[in-house]
Structure 1
């Protein structure tokens, strides 16, 4: 060996960062740390990242699950300093600086980034989840698609007008972007599909009911955009019920006030709550179960722990909480990744996180969307085109962007939905019509 190797200083140990969650925030953080002298472990209970804003299109047969998801290992495989673990987190030992895994294992960390996202909030009625799945996972989207398509097939076979009407009724709960997007998509899918492909159904029998407990749809948007969305949905046949909290949900019904709505498919989009990270950390959760963080997105009592995305209760420059949007999570992820690079590689501090609002958007239907940029708004066909461009650009790689773009062009031209597949292996709501399907 050379004298330099024998007598020189030993190399400094590599810093060790653990990231919980492979969503928008977790992936952005990992990519910012990629190919550096920092060892990174990304832990997720699923092996894929998922573009949740387009999950409603999987549920309404416009896209297939593979179009909006990709294995995390493929996304991060080009970074040789990043290791991916398929595991479910059950807790965090902050004193020992270790993540606890559900199988009993532990993963030590020097710095921890929590980006575990959110889940739907059933407000103490978790039994409703069985009959009214949300739109957070591929499994839920496929389940909704199956129930929706099966309801049409059963209605085609039914000779009972009341049963046929019930099976052709879809109830969407929640008037936020997810609910509005889902209600518009179901209405457009159903009316075209019935008119073209079914012989015993009448498009006039299709019923889509959108229920919102608050006074108006899209409460996070300016009122003029909310009114535009409501008018458009009414124009395509969606029945709106605002100021109407749900009282009960069963296998084939939803009760709103004194009304019982018989239905073939129910979709939940009424509210979200953060992952159980506050419980893992032993801190008092904020609104929606989110974890309060400082200007650098670190936990005040544990500066080695950063919390980002839907799990974090971070504030904007004016002191208002940042919304649970993909753009917020991505910006926070890149910020934390770059901040850790500066700290661990150069011992430099970073300025506080600053969110740059790129606009809030929701699509309502064909040629109709709304965009809120704060100081100005956009609606209609131009907003719809901008929505499409933004969502394609946010997909994880060029292949997905190309595939989704081509399918959207084909769907726009022909109105055909290419993913109308019923998965026999997916659990079903008990059938009201006992007929075998081939």
Structure 2
């Protein structure tokens, strides 16, 4: 008899921990992911600022799962799910294919949200992918190089102004690292500019930095940012972003900030797949596109579909608020889904609803300085919180090699004044624009390989594929 088929969409924390929970289960697992690596997103900003290499935070999926024989890894983007026939349609590199399932786990993560202004992405990359981080690395280090060539003072200032939008953990960490570059790592290396004159501006529409950490830690973080020379503009809304600057509105009115390097770290939304699944199942979604799930993490009316991590909306019974989009929610959800599936296969009665155990939140501001919120009472700031941050992030990195090299690179960056990964190429800086102009190379290959229209017949290709090739 055919074994139970489990399809997993997404190789983030939720997907991987669900797969590992099914290691010894009598199931065949198909993992579908758009990249060949698992991405540790909390450290993307360190790739962007030259502390770590991309390989240290993105181990190959096949290497991570090499000891688990019941997994078949497939590269591609899940485009739709036929919930009646239990079939997933996937767009792979140069080839479309389908995957059948008995149980589906959807853990495709989150996308950057520009709050309806997606064109901002052209000039203000987000922080959701390796491509984003490498592009930002090229822009940040390139800005200092180009500023050194300028003879006009206004041009120099424009190149030495860095704007980070979003004062959550990612934005605070990014602003802090750029400030460290300007004030600690780069001074003395340029003949015609002083990197310490760089302006780092952190903008947010709300009235506090790290507003989910509480007033005490928010105030400590704000004080540390000011000490580092970061200009913090709160209650400030971004209304436009273009190549040479950013426009904002605040209590002072409309203002334009000339800047060649902008970073978008504000807002996340569920990927388009979430709304497609919701439409197919009749499930509700919230404003960010996340699917409203049952207490057992399944889609209402479809117990065979689990939704995990950033794609789900589930209220925490203890607080009445939706669970946060953090790694621990995805990890614990993945383990829970795996255990639930194993219980069903053994015909056990349904278990307890999913209960999230909050292990706390952390954010680093600069070397030797971080904030940590653990449970409802413990609030830490300063060096001890920073050490905890190091330990926790090393623990969750996948693979001994990655942990070892990461610690070495941290030693170079935090104890010394160097950056292990300062190499930036034109390809990284301009790849986004080139891809927009050239288009998806695999899609172009499909068009190039298609037979002429007069040679296509319904006996050769299914009708829907004819229109796709045309």
Give the TM-score normalised by structure 1: 0.93
Q: SS of the counterpart of 1:106?
A: strand
Q: Are 1:25 and 2:21 counterparts?
A: no
Q: SS of the counterpart of 2:328?
A: helix
* Residue 262 (structure 1) shift: 1.0
Q: SS of the counterpart of 1:385?
A: helix
* 1:279-326 Cα deviation digits (max 9, x unpaired): 222133113111011111011110100000000112212232100000
- Flag structure 1 segments of 5+ consecutive residues without an equivalent: 1-11, 431-438
- Where does residue 391 of structure 2 map in the other structure? 389
* Residue 420 (structure 1) shift: 0.4
Q: SS of the counterpart of 1:179?
A: helix
Aligned residue pairs total: 419
| 1:19-418 equivalence runs, <5 A | 19-102=8-91, 103-257=95-249, 258-281=254-277, 282=279, 283-318=283-318, 319-373=320-374, 374-418=376-420
Q: SS of the counterpart of 1:303?
A: strand
* Residue 216 (structure 1) shift: 1.0
* 1:16-62 Cα deviation digits (max 9, x unpaired): 10000000100010111124321001100111001000000000001
In structure 2, the CA distance between the partners of 1:201 and 1:194, relative to structure 1 (3 Å rule), is farther
* Residue 346 (structure 1) shift: 4.7
Q: SS of the counterpart of 1:289?
A: coil
* Residue 116 (structure 1) shift: 0.5
Q: Is the 8 A contact 2:316 2:322 kept in 1?
A: yes
* Residue 348 (structure 1) shift: 4.4
Please give the alpha-carbon distance, in whole angstroms, between the structure 1 residues aligned to 2:113 and 2:237. Answer: 14
- Where does residue 7 of structure 1 map in the other structure? none
Please give the alpha-carbon distance, in whole angstroms, between the structure 1 residues aligned to 2:186 and 2:428. Answer: 24
Q: SS of the counterpart of 1:287?
A: coil
Please give the alpha-carbon distance, in whole angstroms, between the structure 2 residues aligned to 1:197 and 1:348. Answer: 66
* Residue 104 (structure 1) shift: 4.0
Please give the alpha-carbon distance, in whole angstroms, between the structure 2 residues aligned to 1:284 and 1:251. Answer: 38
Q: SS of the counterpart of 1:197?
A: coil
* Residue 427 (structure 1) shift: 4.0
Give the TM-score normalised by structure 2: 0.87
* 1:198-231 Cα deviation digits (max 9, x unpaired): 1211244210000001111111110111111111
Q: Is the 8 A contact 1:278 1:284 kept in 2?
A: no
Please give the alpha-carbon distance, in whole angstroms, between the structure 2 residues aligned to 1:196 and 1:338. Answer: 56
Please give the alpha-carbon distance, in whole angstroms, between the structure 1 residues aligned to 2:191 and 2:127. Answer: 31
* Residue 413 (structure 1) shift: 1.8
Q: SS of the counterpart of 1:153?
A: helix
Q: Is the 8 A contact 2:79 2:273 kept in 1?
A: no
* 1:120-165 Cα deviation digits (max 9, x unpaired): 1111111110100011100000000001111100111111111111
Compare 248-257 and 284-293 and name the one that shifted more.
284-293
Q: Is the 8 A contact 2:8 2:105 kept in 1?
A: yes
Please give the alpha-carbon distance, in whole angstroms, between the structure 1 residues aligned to 2:133 and 2:397. Answer: 18
- Where does residue 436 of structure 1 map in the other structure? none
Q: Is the 8 A contact 2:5 2:27 kept in 1?
A: yes
Q: Is the 8 A contact 2:206 2:235 kept in 1?
A: yes
Q: SS of the counterpart of 1:79?
A: coil
Q: Is the 8 A contact 1:278 1:289 kept in 2?
A: yes
Please give the alpha-carbon distance, in whole angstroms, between the structure 1 residues aligned to 2:286 and 2:255. Answer: 35
Q: SS of the counterpart of 1:195?
A: coil
